């Protein structure tokens, strides 16, 4: 046999092999063209089109009309059901028979009333196996249904994937027939594909690459596509190549099947339910044929959907979970955003997720699974550990895509080569693509231990992390915040979603607290356990990492806002019921304060147009018993207040320490506009070059006028024109007893690719600014000395505190920056993809500026931020009610964040506290409730029998390290 000199003709030899297996070139004579043998048409094919997503039972009762392959249907987001009757020829006995189905959209095959297989052309799933080897006893006449979603794997973007959906897209079936599948051709094709990929991945400098090239060339020489008897000799050459083993030092890649499914993104929540069903039933079919196959799957919410919509499939999943093949991971309700949810919301993600996995599968997740998120809170490690999680998996920091085979990239990109000999590779088509394929598993089998390649092991997260823990002393570590240098526009996009999240977090906090106090006051009160779980799960769902960041289509935004309205409506009713139990309903005015410190606040009652000062102590409920007007005119100035002594009322302590807070020759509350055109990810990204396009908003529509003067409140208002279509109207409010100035803002917003911010150049210079995060705060630089600093021009924050000087607070914004002495709050963006109408409309929000003396800790800035976000709740009560306080803490450093009923005990309360100043402190928690026992517990409310809390006559004594989260079980 003539041997072409491989080394001198690498390109021609490689391309020869590629054309031999091409699905485009020379398919009339190459190996790919022999993949399918005989074919025959379907006996009948009919369709039914529906605008809604309906159950199989409903669909099967509809009238189906004849359908011809190639006919179009739609539009986008509709569902087309197909009814298929097929007859398999008797002459195909002993053959592998497939239904070959190539179409637009995503499909599910139903057989005998059950989902059996997902079909997704983009996921390389275009056939349903009717028989591996047709036998006489097998049914030769079969009826199937195919449920076709009129959307692609990544939605229906018009012109590009992330563009707003095309509502009028049409879909079609391009191929629907019975075929004989030539398994021997598929196996040989896999050998060829792997060898060609190895040649490409290893490159010209590797000896093993040339061996692979020589082998594949010899295989082409030996193989005659028209003569199956030639296949075995060619396969023998491939087997010899793959059978050459590695040494013991070779890197091991732990391969785990996966199908990352965004709970909503370029499609609505309802479509995700079907994506889960299509993908997971396909995974189950793979497990039936491959007992070694392991599949990892996160997000308890998706399991709950499948349980509700596909109960038969869920039972199969439970069976394979017990076998250790289908592995629930992550421990959270959804894969939430890592920056925007509050600390308590993050705890609830784990609480709901871990409890679901325990109840349905009897497992406890040990790893936090967050491959695709837009940031990582510095408090995540403590929250994870408090939920029994010791491992963490993500890939977004390096913007890696899910690896496909071969797996050389996994080794090349490993940053710990030499220190750790193990890494992970998640394989499978995500977002509804059905996850792994049989072809992927076949490829894995060939290279599991082949010389020159990493060893590949079908593994589980437990196996991988156990081996990594064994080498943990050798691994490099990162100290400090994990900052993603992309997608920081998501701190601002879709402002209404962020406002809904903040308001609903506050409302559910108050509902739980009021319900607990009502339970203590009235033992006949029914704590709304199930309703609260339902509302929390809705809130947690909206914290998914493409929803709360605003990087979703308009349909998802509409769903999210509707869920927030449901939470507001039902939550308000629950709060009313709880406060009614507390206050013995009457016609007097009352107030509920859910924060554990004194609050001296002015409340405006719109109907009566009066102001009310409330004098509250701790977490309490009491009537508004002090009504009066403060007659002195309130000046709108930047001032520093001393704390007011409530014993001196009704006279208010005079303002002291007058000090200009704004920088010389600068204007505070300066609105500025920027051009905002990122490179690609429109709703996600803000690029650094946008800072070069700053334009102050200066055109006055309505000049400053006094709205209120004298009494308890002073305020002025004005309007500015942003553009011909957009206007800002603002009321600046200064209340008696309040240490900050509020800016109640309305923006009518109709921009395109613009970014609105507000600036405060302050008379404070510091190399660092302090930013609040979940259960604590961080110091971040105010300079841009390095590339690391420059990349962090936009930070996520709940409220910003600048040490010694000025704090900038807000009630629903998250994007901040402090550069030199200028504090900037991001207000609104106007991206056009994937939601063409993102943020268009009218917005209402409040931010506040708080000058202060001393440190922000001493100035109670944290408490003021809470006050802004947790309003006093006005309610009706009995006129003879006695004010009372449930809890108080003897140090401002410790925040009582949460009071709720324990999940598994009606007579027990859960309290969550954290140290907020960054100090080590001993605190005393005092309570008027009849506490019998107090125990420390973890964040999942599991009691620590070795750690009873110390109860004294003064209360419960607690020790805190900096930013430590402490949870208590109080047995009443």
Whether cis (ω within 30° of 0) applies to the bond prior to 650 is: yes
Rounded Cα distance, 575 and 582, in Å? 10
Neighbours of 451 (CB within 10 A): 15
Tell me which residue has tokens 């010694």.
Answer: 804
* Closest of 914, 864, 854, 907 to residue 889, by C-alpha: 914
Residue 524, C-beta contacts closer than 8 angstroms, at least 6 positions apart: none
Which tokens sit at 963?
């930013």
Is there a catalytic annotation at residue 372? Answer: yes
Which tokens sit at 214?
């020589």
Rounded Cα distance, 372 and 395, in Å? 7
Residue 474, C-beta contacts closer than 8 angstroms, at least 6 positions apart: 419, 420
Residues of the chain by 3-state class (helix, strand, coil), percent to 5: 30, 30, 40
Tell me which residue has tokens 């097929």.
Answer: 86
Rounded Cα distance, 312 and 56, in Å? 13
Q: Distances in Å between the alpha carbon of 775 and those of 370, 479, 503, 960?
A: 20, 19, 18, 13
> How do beta strands 295-297 and 252-258 pair?
parallel
Rounded Cα distance, 892 and 597, in Å? 8
Catalytic residue among 104, 191, 337, 372: 372
Please give the radius of gyration of the chain, using alpha carbons only, rounded to the nearest integer: 32
Rounded Cα distance, 103 and 69, in Å? 9
Count how many Cα atoms sit within 13 Å of the Cα of residue 823 in the half-sphere of its side chain. 33
Which tokens sit at 835?
């939601």
Rounded Cα distance, 937 and 20, in Å? 64
Q: Which H or E run includes 178?
A: strand 171-181
Q: Which H or E run includes 307?
A: helix 300-309
Cβ atoms of 706 and 733 closer than 8 Å:
no
Cβ atoms of 94 and 133 closer than 8 Å:
yes
Enter the DSSP assignment of 873. E
Greatest CA span in the chain, whole angstroms? Answer: 108
Cβ atoms of 180 and 95 closer than 8 Å:
yes
β-bridge partners, 955: 952
Rounded Cα distance, 928 and 888, in Å? 9
Tell me which residue has tokens 């962090």.
Answer: 792
What is the separation of C-alpha 593 from the centre of its chain, rounded to a whole number of angstroms? 31
Cβ atoms of 517 and 525 closer than 8 Å:
no
Cβ atoms of 543 and 259 closer than 8 Å:
no
Q: What is the 3-state secondary structure (H, E, C) of 935-957?
A: EEECCCCCEEEEEECEEECCEEE
Helices 495-521/529-541 angle, 10° precision: 160
Cβ atoms of 468 and 420 closer than 8 Å:
yes
What is the separation of C-alpha 768 from the centre of its chain, rounded to a whole number of angstroms? 29
- Class of residue 412 by CB neighbours under 10 A (exposed 0-12, middle 13-18, buried 19+): exposed
Rounded Cα distance, 693 and 56, in Å? 55
- Class of residue 124 by CB neighbours under 10 A (exposed 0-12, middle 13-18, buried 19+): middle
Cβ atoms of 39 and 179 closer than 8 Å:
yes
Enzyme catalytic residues: 372
């Amino acid at each position: 046999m003539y041997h072409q000199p491989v080394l001198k003709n690498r390109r021609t030899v490689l391309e020869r092999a590629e054309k031999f297996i091409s699905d485009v070139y020379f398919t009339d004579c190459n190996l790919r063209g022999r993949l399918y043998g005989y074919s025959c048409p379907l006996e009948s094919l009919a369709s039914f089109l529906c605008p809604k997503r309906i159950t199989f039972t409903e669909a099967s009762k509809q009238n189906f009309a004849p359908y011809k392959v190639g006919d179009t249907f739609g539009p986008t987001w509709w569902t087309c059901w197909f009814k298929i009757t097929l007859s398999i020829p008797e002459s195909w006995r002993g053959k592998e028979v497939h239904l070959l189905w190539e179409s637009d959209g995503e499909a599910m095959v139903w057989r005998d009333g059950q989902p059996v297989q997902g079909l997704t052309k983009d996921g390389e799933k275009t056939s349903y196996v009717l028989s591996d080897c047709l036998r006489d006893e097998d049914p030769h006449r079969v009826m199937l249904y195919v449920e076709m979603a009129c959307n692609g794997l990544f939605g229906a973007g018009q012109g590009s994937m992330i563009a707003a959906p095309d509502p009028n897209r049409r879909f079609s079936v391009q191929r629907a027939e019975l075929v004989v599948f030539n398994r021997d051709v598929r196996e040989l094709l896999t050998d060829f594909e792997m060898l060609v990929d190895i040649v490409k991945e290893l490159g010209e400098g590797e000896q093993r690459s040339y061996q692979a090239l020589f082998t594949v060339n010899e295989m082409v020489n030996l193989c005659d596509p028209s003569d199956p008897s030639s296949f075995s000799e060619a396969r023998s050459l491939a087997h010899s190549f793959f059978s050459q083993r590695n040494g013991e030092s070779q890197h091991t890649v732990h391969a785990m099947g996966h199908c990352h499914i965004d709970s909503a993104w370029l499609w609505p929540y309802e479509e995700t339910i079907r994506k889960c069903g299509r993908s997971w039933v396909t995974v189950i079919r793979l497990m039936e044929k491959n007992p070694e196959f392991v599949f990892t799957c996160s997000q308890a919410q998706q399991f709950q959907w499948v349980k509700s919509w596909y109960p038969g499939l869920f039972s199969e999943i439970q069976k394979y979970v017990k076998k250790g093949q289908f592995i629930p991971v992550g421990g959270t309700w959804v894969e939430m955003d890592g920056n925007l949810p509050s600390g308590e919301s993050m705890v609830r993600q784990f609480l709901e997720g871990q409890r679901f996995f325990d109840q349905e599968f009897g497992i406890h997740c040990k790893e936090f699974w967050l491959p695709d998120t837009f940031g990582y809170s510095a408090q995540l490690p403590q929250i994870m550990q408090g939920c029994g999680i010791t491992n963490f998996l993500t890939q977004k920091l390096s913007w890696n895509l899910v690896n496909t085979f071969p797996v050389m990239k996994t080794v090349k990109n490993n940053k710990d080569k030499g220190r750790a000999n193990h890494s992970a590779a998640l394989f499978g088509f995500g977002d509804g693509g059905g996850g792994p394929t049989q072809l992927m598993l076949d490829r894995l089998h060939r290279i599991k231990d082949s010389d020159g390649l990493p060893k590949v092991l079908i593994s589980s997260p437990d196996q991988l992390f156990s081996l990594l823990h064994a080498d943990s002393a050798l691994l490099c570590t990162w100290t400090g915040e994990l900052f993603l240098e992309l997608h920081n526009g998501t701190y601002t996009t879709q402002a209404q979603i962020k406002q809904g999240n903040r308001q609903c977090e506050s409302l559910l906090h108050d509902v739980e607290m009021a319900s607990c106090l009502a339970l203590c006051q009235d033992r006949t009160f029914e704590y709304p356990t199930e309703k609260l779980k339902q509302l929390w799960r809705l809130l947690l769902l909206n914290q998914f990492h493409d929803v709360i960041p605003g990087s979703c289509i308009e349909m998802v935004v509409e769903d999210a806002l509707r869920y927030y309205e449901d939470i507001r409506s039902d939550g308000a009713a629950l709060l009313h019921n709880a406060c009614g139990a507390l206050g013995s309903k009457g016609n007097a005015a009352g107030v509920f304060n859910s924060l554990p410190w004194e609050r001296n606040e002015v409340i405006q009652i719109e109907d009566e147009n009066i102001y009310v000062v409330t004098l509250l102590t701790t977490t309490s409920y009491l009537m508004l018993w002090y009504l009066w007007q403060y007659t002195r005119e309130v000046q709108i100035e930047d001032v520093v207040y001393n704390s007011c002594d409530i014993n001196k009322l009704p006279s208010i302590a005079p303002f002291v320490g007058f000090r200009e807070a704004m920088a010389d020759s600068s204007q505070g509350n300066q609105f500025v506009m920027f051009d905002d055109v990122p490179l690609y990810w429109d709703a996600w990204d803000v690029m650094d070059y946008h800072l070069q396009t700053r334009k102050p908003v200066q055109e006055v529509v309505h000049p400053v006028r006094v709205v209120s003067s004298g009494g308890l409140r002073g305020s002025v208002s004005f309007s500015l024109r942003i553009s011909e279509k957009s206007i800002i109207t603002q009321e600046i409010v200064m209340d008696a007893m309040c240490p900050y100035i509020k800016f109640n803002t309305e923006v009518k917003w109709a921009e395109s690719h613009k970014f609105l911010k507000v600036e405060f150049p302050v008379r404070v210079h510091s190399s660092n600014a302090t930013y609040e995060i979940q259960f604590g705060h961080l110091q971040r630089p105010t300079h841009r000395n390095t590339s690391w600093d420059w990349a962090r021009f936009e930070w996520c924050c709940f409220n910003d505190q600048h040490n010694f000087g000025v704090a900038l607070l807000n009630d629903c914004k998250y994007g901040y920056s402090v550069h030199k002495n200028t504090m900037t709050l991001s207000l609104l963006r106007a991206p056009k993809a994937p939601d063409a109408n993102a943020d268009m409309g009218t917005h209402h929000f409040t931010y506040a500026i708080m000058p202060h003396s001393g440190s922000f800790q001493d100035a109670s800035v944290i408490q003021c931020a809470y006050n802004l976000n947790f309003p006093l709740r006005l309610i009706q009560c009995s006129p003879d009610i006695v004010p009372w306080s449930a809890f108080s803490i003897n140090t401002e450093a410790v925040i009582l964040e949460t009071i709720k009923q324990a999940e598994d005990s009606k007579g027990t309360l859960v309290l969550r506290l954290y140290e907020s100043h960054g100090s080590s402190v001993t605190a005393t928690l005092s309570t008027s409730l009849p506490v019998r026992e107090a125990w420390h517990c973890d964040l999942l409310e599991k009691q620590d029998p070795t750690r009873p809390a110390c109860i004294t006559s003064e209360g419960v004594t607690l020790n805190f390290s900096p930013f430590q989260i402490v949870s208590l079980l109080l047995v009443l």
